[in-house]
């Protein structure tokens, strides 16, 4: 069967090549006929026939080089026409040069060169266009039952591709009435025979005028701001709305344009794709042995997926979560079968285990993503948060130093800035450990960023579960805001930032505009097909102990400068390296003695500005509103600002 298929493929290729040359020969003869008003003198007939093989040889070489014989006639597009023009131009030029060099043009009609180019381009291109029109006409003549009338938002290449697929698939039973596009130059025009009826703000009026049932958003690289605006107008019009898959899914070929899906909250928070130096990242990671702690977590697992794309020599997955590690290992082996993977059930608290793995595997690059990250859990489990986030980080850094690891990347959080909770304080201490222990011979850097969409325990999965139960959605405070970033974007920027490091830097990822959680809750309710307060309620529970009203990415005393990448900034340390060895020994003693309040007091000494909650100190449940009494003047102003805005003062 393989032999038959191969013969058929060769036969088809030769047929297409012969058709191209046949049309070129016909154009050449017609050029002579037109030049002499369909009455070619005998002497020129001989010239025409003698030079015909030369013409076919010249064009055949050029056509084959440009692979015109591989172009599908049924799916010819603009690029195909450009290739045809280019092929004929180069073929004619080669023919002219050959004739001039070996024969001269004294007895050759020069206008034939121009006529041949025009006619050959028209015949070869026109034949393909006619073939495509015939094939599409046959598909459009099939019986078609229309079930929904649609508008396409976006009259660009994605919208045109979507329209063509809908026209070529009668079973979709969707008729496109028109396009909607914010470009004023397009409004009133017809794109592929379909009119551009108006702009996005016209959606409510257009849907009513044309009895539209569905709006198809064809903006695969649209920003979250664009999506929020479109969804707002669709909701005002009371119509269904669907969105194209992401640009990455379309480019990878995992989905087709007609595989529309419902709008997700991720679409409303999405940003423009980050501009990355992919060759630099690939050069940095290729042929290295990379170890990732916390590999089964949200950030750790995505780091594994992203790093695997760049061909490291070996990828070591280090985590104590057996089920998560097994699932990740199976996924990566399926996606990257050639990758050398080593899943290690390991604990960063076991120093002897770390030493054994480092000595045996000799990793060259460490990504330390293992950490306890939930604010409320850390407030109620101070000892374990300190043990894991601080002492565990020290263990990994010491193992890296002892085994000559050249590069180390610590994953930090915006909660480390002016921390109000144990989780943020322990991560700030982890930053101090890396800064204090790295030396000038190594590239040890830290990357700090905010919340990521869809991570385990984040607000979005919680809201989804609450909506599935019929509500209510619980929001801590009407003015609480958070930064959000998709997990792939965060990990890609982590990799990019790490390539910029020379040792000792703390990089900060630009997170965009903060999002009000109350607005996020309302959007998720509406996207689920419910009405706020009518179908699903929103209730306020009050800030939990250790929780901030808003997040920050840098403190007032931190000097941050820009890099050449607009989403990555670098913090300049203004003080020397902190001497924390004695404090780490004291913390270890307090953890061993299960002295939570003592550990919290020591954290207050290590981290200026940290004000623990009463719960962390072991004094009850703690306050649920922002405690501004103990804050600096600047911090009281920042906390009060959204409250004043809410009251209109």
Lowest-confidence pick of 8-22, 108-122, 194-208, 209-223: 8-22
pLDDT in tens, 580-616: 888 999 999 999 999 999 999 999 988 888 888 888 8
Please give the pLDDT value at position 556: 66
Confidence of residue 34 (pLDDT cuts 50, 70, 90): confident
Please give the pLDDT value at position 106: 66
Q: What is the DSSP letter of 363?
A: -
Please give the pLDDT value at position 172: 63
pLDDT in tens, 561-578: 888 887 888 887 666 666
Sign of the alpha-carbon torsion through 545, 548, 552, 556 = negative
Q: Percentage of the chain surpassing pLDDT 90?
A: 28
Give the residue among 168, 172, 191, 192 at the shortest CA–CA distance from 75.
168
Does residue 415 have an active-site annotation?
A: yes
Tell me which H or E stretch contains 235. helix 224-237
Confidence of residue 560 (pLDDT cuts 50, 70, 90): confident
148-263 is classed CATH 3.20.20.150: no
Tell me how far apart the alpha carbons of residues 481 and 288 are, in angstroms, rounded to a whole number: 40
Please give the pLDDT value at position 271: 62
CATH fold match for the domains 148-263 and 278-639: yes
Virtual CA dihedral for 177, 180, 185, 191, nearest 10 degrees? Answer: -40
| Residue with the larger pLDDT of the pair 439 and 593 | 593
Residue boundaries of the structural domains of the chain: 2-139, 148-263, 278-639
Q: Kindly list the distances between the CA atom of residue 122 and the CA atoms of 25, 34, 61, 125, 128, in Å, as whole numbers in the listed order.
A: 13, 15, 20, 5, 10
Please give the pLDDT value at position 632: 38
**Candidates 59, 288, 415, 443; catalytic one:** 415
Please give the pLDDT value at position 245: 60
CATH superfamily assigned to domain 278-639: NAD(P)-binding Rossmann-like Domain (3.40.50.720)
pLDDT in tens, 117-161: 888 888 888 888 777 666 655 444 444 566 678 899 888 888 888
Please give the pLDDT value at position 112: 84
Helical spans, DSSP H, in 469-510: 487-500
* CA atoms within 13 A of residue 571's CA, in its CB half-sphere: 24
Please give the pLDDT value at position 344: 96
Query: Furthest-apart CA pair in the chain: how many Å?
Result: 112
Confidence of residue 5 (pLDDT cuts 50, 70, 90): very low
Residue 44, both tokens: 């020129």
CA angle, 511 then 515 then 521, to 5°: 140
The DSSP annotation for 138-167 comes to HHHTS-----EEEEEE--SHHHHHHHHHHH
**pTM across the whole model:** 0.65
Q: Is the pLDDT of residue 343 over 90?
A: yes
| Residue with the larger pLDDT of the pair 470 and 3 | 470
Q: Percentage of the chain surpassing pLDDT 70?
A: 81
Cis, peptide link before residue 472, omega less than 30° from 0: yes
């Amino acid at each position: 069967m393989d032999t038959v298929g191969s013969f058929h493929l060769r036969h088809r290729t030769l047929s297409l090549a012969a058709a191209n040359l046949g049309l070129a020969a016909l154009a050449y003869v017609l050029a002579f006929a037109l030049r002499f008003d369909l009455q070619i003198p005998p002497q020129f007939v001989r010239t025409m026939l003698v030079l015909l093989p030369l013409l076919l040889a010249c064009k055949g070489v050029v056509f084959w080089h440009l692979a015109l014989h591989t172009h599908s006639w049924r799916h010819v597009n603009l690029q195909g026409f450009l290739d045809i023009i280019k092929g004929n131009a180069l073929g004619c030029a080669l023919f002219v040069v050959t004739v001039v060099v070996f024969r001269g043009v004294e007895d050759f009609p020069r206008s034939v060169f121009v006529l041949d180019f025009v006619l050959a381009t028209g015949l070869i291109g026109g034949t393909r266009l006619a073939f495509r029109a015939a094939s599409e006409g046959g598909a459009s003549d099939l019986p078609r039952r229309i079930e929904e009338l649609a508008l396409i938002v976006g009259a660009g290449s994605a919208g045109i591709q979507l329209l063509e697929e809908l026209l070529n698939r009668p079973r979709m039973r969707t008729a496109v009435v028109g396009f909607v596009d914010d470009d004023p130059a397009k409004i009133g025009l017809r794109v592929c025979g379909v009119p551009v009826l108006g702009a996005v703000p016209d959606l409510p009026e257009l849907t009513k005028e044309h009895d539209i049932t569905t709006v198809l958003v064809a903006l695969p690289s649209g920003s979250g701001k664009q999506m929020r605006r479109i969804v707002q107008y669709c909701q005002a019009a009371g119509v269904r709305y669907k969105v194209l898959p992401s640009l990455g899914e379309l480019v990878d070929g995992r989905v087709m344009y007609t595989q529309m899906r419902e709008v997700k909250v991720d679409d409303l928070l999405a940003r423009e794709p980050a501009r990355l130096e992919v060759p630099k990242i690939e050069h940095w990671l290729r042929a290295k042995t990379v170890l990732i702690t916390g590999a089964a977590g949200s950030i750790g697992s995505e780091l594994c997926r992203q790093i695997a794309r760049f061909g490291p020599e070996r990828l070591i997955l280090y985590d104590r979560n057996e089920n998560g590690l097994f699932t990740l290992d199976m996924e990566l082996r399926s996606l990257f079968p050639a990758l050398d993977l080593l899943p290690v059930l390991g604990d960063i608290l076991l120093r002897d285990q770390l030493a054994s793995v480092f000595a045996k595997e000799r990793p060259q690059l460490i990504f330390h993503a293992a950490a306890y990250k939930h604010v409320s859990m850390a407030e109620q489990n101070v000892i374990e948060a300190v043990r894991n986030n601080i002492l565990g980080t020290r263990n990994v850094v010491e193992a890296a130093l002892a085994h000559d690891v050249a590069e180390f990347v610590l994953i930090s959080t915006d909660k480390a800035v002016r921390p109000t909770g144990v989780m943020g304080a322990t991560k700030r201490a982890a930053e101090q450990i890396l800064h204090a222990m790295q030396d000038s011979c190594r590239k040890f850097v830290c990357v700090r960023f905010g919340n990521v969409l869809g991570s385990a325990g984040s607000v979005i999965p919680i809201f989804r579960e609450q909506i599935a139960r019929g509500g209510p959605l619980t929001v801590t405070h009407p003015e609480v805001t958070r930064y959000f970033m998709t997990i792939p974007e965060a990990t890609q920027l982590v990799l990019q930032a790490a390539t910029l490091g020379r040792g000792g830097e703390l990089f900060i990822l630009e997170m965009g505009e903060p999002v009000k959680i109350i607005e996020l809750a309302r959007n998720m309710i509406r996207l689920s097909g419910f009405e706020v307060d009518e179908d699903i309620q929103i209730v306020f529970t009050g800030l939990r102990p250790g929780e901030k009203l808003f997040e920050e990415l840098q403190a007032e005393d931190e000097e941050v400068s820009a890099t050449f990448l607009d989403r990555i900034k670098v913090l300049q340390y203004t003080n020397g390296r902190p001497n924390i060895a004695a404090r780490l020994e004291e913390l270890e003693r307090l953890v061993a003695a299960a002295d939570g309040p003592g550990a919290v007091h020591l954290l207050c000494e290590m981290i200026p500005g940290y004000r623990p909650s009463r719960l962390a100190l072991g004094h009850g449940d703690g306050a649920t509103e922002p405690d501004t009494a103990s804050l600096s003047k600047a911090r009281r102003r920042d906390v009060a600002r959204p409250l004043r805005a809410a009251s209109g003062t």
